[in-house]
Structure formats: structure tokens, C-alpha cells
Structure 1
Amino acid sequence: MNKETIKTILEKSFTDFTSFTDTLSDHRFIVSPEGKWSAGQQLDHLIRSAKPVNTAMGLPKILLRFFGKPVSRSRSYEQVAESYRQVLQHGGVAARPYIPPVTEAEQRGILQLQFHQQKERLLQQIEQWTEEDLDKYQVPHPLLGRMTIREVLYFTAYHNQHHLQTLEQREQRNPSWSEQLERALF
């Protein structure tokens, strides 16, 4: 994928997640059924995940050389997504800095704003990179090891979609939230 295509899939992944969470009531936004992260916590997690990508992309490229040169070509979007699915299947979980605290309904607007800001910053950052540089520099990922900047961008788009699918599946298969709350309380 070229930069424009990457920007398109990133934009879509952020927008799709926001569009879905906007449909949730405050109650459904903050409730974490069955010990899983709530929609608010997942939003917080995605913000925490996007921040280091933005930070790395904003660093002088000479500093990124600290992480070495990629030894192979950038993997495709699907290869990165498959690597992530494999890690999750084998027990991979979010590292401590990416684990969100419990969210409150009052935080919703702030989290949505921060998520939007991370998206906008990321889209602007991409403009500062050449196609060649996306494959020339790499950074560490806590679960997937060293990845080129292009691969990290693929991961970010897929990661947003992964969390969106998790929320969508929860909505489809579970009884209504009021029924779940009733079960939990009584």
C-alpha cells in the first residue's frame, strides 16, 4: 500500500470505531461485561496505542536508527494482521502501559477528543514521510518485535478494526445490557 492508501485505511479505522461507540449509551460505554474491557476502556487503549506511533513518527529520523535497519522488506497489511492474530491466539496481552483504567461516563467526551487528535496527528505525520522512509526505519512493538514504520501503520489500522469487531460481536451475541446488568446484580 502506498501512503495515500494507508491514510485511507487509517482514517476509516478511526472513524468506524468512533461511529460505533457514538451509538452506545453512556451506560454501555462504561460497563465492562464478563470482565472484559468496556468500550470506554477500549477507546482509552487505542489512544494509548496510537500515542507512541505518533511520537516515533515525529522524532528526527537519525534517532530512529537506534533501533537498527530492517533486515527484510515490510510485510503486507494482511501479514501484519495475521502476525497479531497469532500472538493473541498464543496468549499475547497488552503490556502494562497500554492497559486502560476503568472509565467513567464523564470521560467520554475527553477520550473521543483525544482519539480524534491522535488520528489527525497520525495523518499529518504520514505526510512528512517518503514512501522509501516508511520501509527504511523501524521501531519496537511490545508484542510483535521490531516493525517498519509502514508495518506499524498497518498494525494501527488493523488494531482499531480488531477492537471495533470485538465490540460489535459483543453487541450481537449478548442479551441486552439491562439484562446483563440485572444478572450481575441479582
Structure 2
Amino acid sequence: MQKTAIQTLLNGSFTDFSAFIETLSDHRFIVSPEGKWSAAQQLDHLIRSAKPVNTALGMPRFFLRWFGKPAAPSRSFEEIRENYRGLLKNGAVTTRPYIPHVSEADQKQPLLKQFAQQKDKMLQLIDNWSEQELDRYQGPHPLMGKLTVREILYFTAYHNYHHLHSLQSREQLEQPWAAQLERVIF
């Protein structure tokens, strides 16, 4: 996938997640049935996940050499997605720096603003990278090990969609929010 396609994918993943969050009532934003993260917590988690990506993208390339040279060519979006799914299936969970705080309803707009800022920053920073550099440099991922910059961007897009689909699944007709909430309360 070329850089412009990655930017389009990333933009869509951030925008789609934000658009879904906007549809949620304040109650549905902060409460989550069955002990899962709330939509607010998932949004906070995605912000926490995007920040180090933007930090790495903004670093002088020289500093990224500290993580070594990639041992293999960049994997495809599909390969990164399947690798991450496999880790989750085998019990992998987020690491401490990415665990979200409990949020209040009045934090919805500030969190959405932060999320949009991370998106805008990421899309802008990618412009400073050549196609070759996306494959030449790598950085650490807390669950997946070292990933090339291209793979990190693939992961970021998939990660946003993963959390979006998690929230959307709560809204399925077979399990409407009210029924899930009622099950938890009673």
C-alpha cells in the first residue's frame, strides 16, 4: 500500500471512529455493559496509542536507528491485522501506558478534539516520509515487537477499526444497548 493509500486508510479509521462516538448518548459514552471498556475509555486508549506513533514519526530518523534495521520487508496490512488478531485470541492485553482512565460525559468533546488532533498530526507527519523510509525504519510495539513505520501505520488504522467494530457490535439488533444494560443491572 502506497503512502497516500495509507493516509486515506488512517483518515477513514479516525473519522469513522469519531463519527460513531458522536452518535452515542452521554450515558452510552461513559457506561459499558459486561465489564468491557466504555466508548470513552476506548477513545482514550486510541489517543494514548496514537501519541507515541506521532512522536516516532516526528523524530529525526537518526534516533530511530537505535531500534535497528528491519530484518525483513514490511508486511501487508492484512498480515499485520491477522498477527494482531492472533495475539488477542491468545490472550494478549494492552500494556499499562495504554490503559485508559474512566471518563465522564463532559469529556466527550475534549477527547474527540484530542483524537482529531492526533489524526491531523499523523497525516501531516507522514508527508515528511518517503516510501523507502517507511520500510527502512522501525520502532517497538508493546505486543507485536518491532514493526517498520509502514507496519505501525497499518496497525494504527486497524487498531482504530478494531475498537470501532467492538463498539458497533454492542449496538446489534440482537443485543440492543438497553437489553445489555438491563442484564448487567438486574
TM-score (norm 1): 0.96
> Where does residue 128 of structure 1 map in the other structure?
128
> Sequence identity, in percent?
62
Q: State the partner residue of 2:13.
A: 13
Cα distance in 1 between the residues matched to 2:140 and 2:174: 37
Distance across 1 between alignment mates of 2:70 and 2:24: 42
Unaligned runs of 5+ in 2: none
CA displacement, residues 45-71 of structure 1 (integer Å, 9 cap, x when unaligned): 000000000001111100000000001
Specify the alignment match of 1:169 in structure 2.
169
**RMSD (CA atoms):** 1.2
Residue equivalent to 2:154: 154
1:135, distance to aligned residue in structure 2 (A): 0.2
* Alpha-carbon distance in 1 for matches of 2:3, 2:86: 26
The CA deviation at 1:171 is 1.1
Query: Cα offset for 1:170?
Result: 1.2
| 2:18 maps to amino acid | T
Q: Where does residue 86 of structure 1 map in the other structure?
A: 86
In structure 1, what is the equivalent of residue 61 of structure 2? 61
Deviation, structure 1 residue 21: 1.1
CA deviation after TM superposition for structure 1 residue 173, in Å: 5.5
Q: Give the counterpart letter for 2:121 in structure 1.
A: R
Q: Tell me, which stretches of 5 or more residues in structure 1 are unaligned?
A: none
Q: CA deviation at 1:11?
A: 0.4
Q: C-alpha displacement at 1:103, in angstroms? A: 1.0
Q: How does 1:3-42 map to 2 (within 5 A)?
A: 3-42=3-42
- What is residue 116 of structure 1 aligned with on the other side? 116
- Following the alignment from structure 2 to structure 1, what is the Cα–Cα distance between the partners of residues 20 and 126? 25
CA deviation string 1:148-184 (max 9, x = no partner): 0000000000000000011111111564434444443
CA distance in 2, matches of 1:174, 1:59: 47
Q: Secondary structure at the match of 1:172?
A: coil
Distance 1:170 1:177 in 2: 7
Matching residue's letter, 1:166: S
Question: Given the two structures, how large is their TM-score scaled by the length of structure 2?
Answer: 0.96
User: 2: distance between equivalents of 1:104 and 1:178?
Assistant: 20
Q: Secondary structure at the match of 1:94?
A: coil
Which residue is equivalent to 2:45? 45
